[in-house]
Amino acid sequence: MALCLTALFLFHPVDAQQNEELKEIQQQIKQKQEQIEKQLARAKQLQAQLKAAELNISRTAKELDKTRQELTSNRQQQSELTEEQERLLADVKNQQQALSSQFRSMYMSGDYDFAKMLFNLEDASKLERTFSYYQYLSKARKEQIDQFRALVAQFKQVSESLTQKQQELTVLEKTQQQQSTQLVQQQGLRKSTLQQIEQQIDSEAAQIEQLQINEQALLKAIEEAQQEAQQRPVNLTGLASLRGALLLPTQGRIRKMFGRIRQGQIRWKGVLFNGNTGAPVRAVHDGKILYADWLRGFGLMTVIDHGDGYMTLYGHNQALLKNVGDDVQSGETIALVGQSGGQSSPNLYFEIRHKGKPIDPAKWLKL
């Protein structure tokens, strides 16, 4: 009994010390968890600001892209109108010279006074023939004069159109400059928001939890889009026969990240294409737009349904050019390369999924 009591007194202080240490560790874990939760809550608020900033950038980028296309079209039309103007001017000058030559000949031969020539005819038998000749001549001259007038009117119309296009060009160039300035301002606001997010999520645990939240958001978005798409049956054949033959979604160096550790136990489920801001993003094959919106962690993203359980995902875009339900053809431009979703440099994030499971894009693209 004495031995047991001795043992109890010997070991009890040690157990008490361990309990205190355990409580302290648990308290530290609790505090760290609370800190992470606060960071994520603040990051969530900042993500909403980031979303607003990137959507504004998207709208401005789409408007800027449209303005650039209009500028290109306007300059092409001006070039065509200038060529037509030069051709018409040459025709007008030719007609003018031809008419001047005819009028000069008429005057020199004295046949400018038709009545005088009729009264001076010595042979009455020539009267009918001369009258028919002058009727024909008068008709031919009238046609030439009408053609000349039509050419002058057409030249005037083309010149007015050219002036109008030049005025439109001035307006378009001013609009482009305003849109570019607005885009720079919006990108500055986005950069500031992004820096705040990075300051909030400064621990690996918070970063991993953020990636898990983003992954769940993606799966949820795809699932909801698929459920909605089931109500719109389409005839698509899938990608099974196109392994190794799919078009590249954009130009740029591919970073084969699929399957690699991203952070913690989270692995990459797609690849990245380094690109230039505003470069076209193209559909790798025929399909129908399943999803087109901003998604946390992926930015402005488009998902295309190719049928038979195959879909492709295009993330980090600057602007989306297609809407949900739109049919797209292989190689058709569906978006513009950007850095939405909190990216520090322009790139395209690309995934291929079959029945919800990610598959390695490098084995399916024609590299």
Residue 10 has what pLDDT?
46
All residues at 6 or more sequence positions from 169 whose CB lies less than 8 Å from its CB, including other chains? 71, 74, 75, 78
* pLDDT tens for each residue of 314-348: 999 999 999 999 999 999 999 999 999 888 899 99
Phi and psi angles of residue 327, each rounded to the nearest 5 degrees, phi first:
-85, 140
Domains in the chain, please, with CATH? 48-198 (1.10.287.1490), 204-363 (2.70.70.10)
Query: Which pair of structure tokens corresponds to residue 154?
Result: 């057409």
Q: What is the pLDDT of residue 127?
A: 46
Task: Provide the b/e sequence for 87-121 (b: ≥16 CB within 10 Å).
Answer: ebeebeeebeeeeeeeeeeeeeeeeeeeeeeeeee
pLDDT (0 to 100) of residue 112: 46
Q: What is the pLDDT of residues 252-267, one digit of tens each?
A: 999 988 989 887 777 8
Angle 273-279-236 from CA coordinates, rounded to 5°: 75
For 133, other C-beta atoms within 10 Å of its C-beta total 12
CA nearest to 96, candidates 133, 157, 144 = 144
pLDDT of residue 73: 85
- Regions in the chain scoring below 70 on pLDDT: 1-46, 92, 95-96, 98-146, 148, 151, 194-210, 231-234
Which pLDDT score is estimated for 48?
A: 74
- What pLDDT does residue 70 have? 84
Specify whether the backbone of 336 is left (phi greater than 0), alpha (psi in -120 to 50) or beta: beta
Handedness of CA 291, 292, 296, 300 (dihedral sign): positive
CA distances to 10, 93, 117, 296 from 44, rounded to whole Å, are 52, 73, 100, 9
Which pLDDT does position 16 carry in this prediction?
A: 59
pTM here is 0.58
Q: Cα 148 vs. chain centroid, distance in angstroms?
A: 48
At 350, list the tokens: 């690309």
Rounded-to-10 torsion of CA 327, 338, 256, 40: -110
> H or E element: which one contains 199?
helix 126-200
Give the long-range contacts of residues 83-89, CB within 8 A, separation 24 or more. 84/158, 85/155, 85/158, 85/159, 85/162, 88/151, 88/154, 88/155, 88/158, 89/155
**Model pLDDT, residue 310:** 94
Average pLDDT across the chain, whole number: 76
- 210: tokens are 């953020």
**CA–CA dist 197, 150 (Å, integer):** 68
Which pLDDT value is given to residue 174? 79
